[in-house]
Amino acid sequence: MSARAPEPASEPAPEPAPDRPLAAVADLVAVMDRLRSPGGCPWDAEQTHASLVGYAVEEVYEVAEAVETGDRAGLREELGDLLLQVVFHARVAQEHDSEPFDLDDVAAGIAAKLRRRHPHVFGDAQVRDAEHVHQRWEQIKAAEKSRDSVLDGVPLALPALARAQKVVGRAQRAGLPLALPSAPADGSQQIGRELLELVLRSQATGIDAEAALRGVIRDLECGVRAVEHRQDESGDGALPVPARPDEERSR
């Protein structure tokens, strides 16, 4: 799914495939420019960085789902939708009054960062293995950004399991002790502590806790849909709506 208004039922025939390297990217930039410019699409023209955030987050999750389910065709499509978000944001950024930038600036910035963060490839530095590369990356990043803590830069908006694993991983790579919070005062804190313990186990075994939970939820969804399908075929109707905990207590 892309950050676009609903498309008409019929689509024009695709243009011939470009024969120049990255010509398709240039074509995408040109399409986005046309949509955003006067005489283009009213919906695209009124979007802002803020209004597009939800679409970007959604596309990232759809890419993750395509990867985790082995959907190659879906992955190609979802990567395109994610690329659209990058191009869209860069086009919006061109219009900023005092600090404009475009897609070329974005690409130049990340290329320069990759060269700085890989001195063992683009310089004379030596590394032992992939883990050493990761450690060097974090060291270089910390020096570049002058951060006070190894936890600076961990996005607050990350899903809780993913954020917990990111915090744990950074602390461990920095050699900092990990002390679980003191004895929980209530059931909610107890559940939180148990979830954190699961994250520590995931980190120790090299498992992505967030991805593991997504996989189990997909299995659960398949099971629920299978039951619904069987009930539809047998005429039993849909699954009953479960009562809320407070309703259960009042019965």
CA-to-CA separations, 195 to 54, 70, 127, 163, 170, in angstroms, rounded? 27, 28, 35, 12, 18
* pLDDT tier for residue 26 given thresholds of 50, 70 and 90: very high
Average pLDDT, the chain: 86
Q: Region 38-42: what's the mean pLDDT?
A: 96
Cα distance between residue 9 and residue 17, in whole Å: 23
What is the model's pTM? 0.71
DSSP secondary structure code for residue 18 in this structure: P
CA nearest neighbour of 154 among 141, 168, 166: 166
Beta strands per DSSP E along 141-183: none
CA-to-CA separations, 223 to 78, 117, 216, in angstroms, rounded? 26, 45, 11
Query: Cβ atoms within 10 A of the Cβ of 84, count?
Result: 20
pLDDT at 187 (0 to 100): 86
CA nearest neighbour of 151 among 165, 169, 179, 170: 170
pLDDT at 6 (0 to 100): 44
pLDDT at 75 (0 to 100): 97
* Structural domains of the chain, with CATH: 1-98 (1.10.287.1080), 153-241 (no CATH)
Asked if residue 19 has pLDDT above 70, the reply is: no
The number of CA neighbours under 13 Å toward the Cβ of 212 is: 13
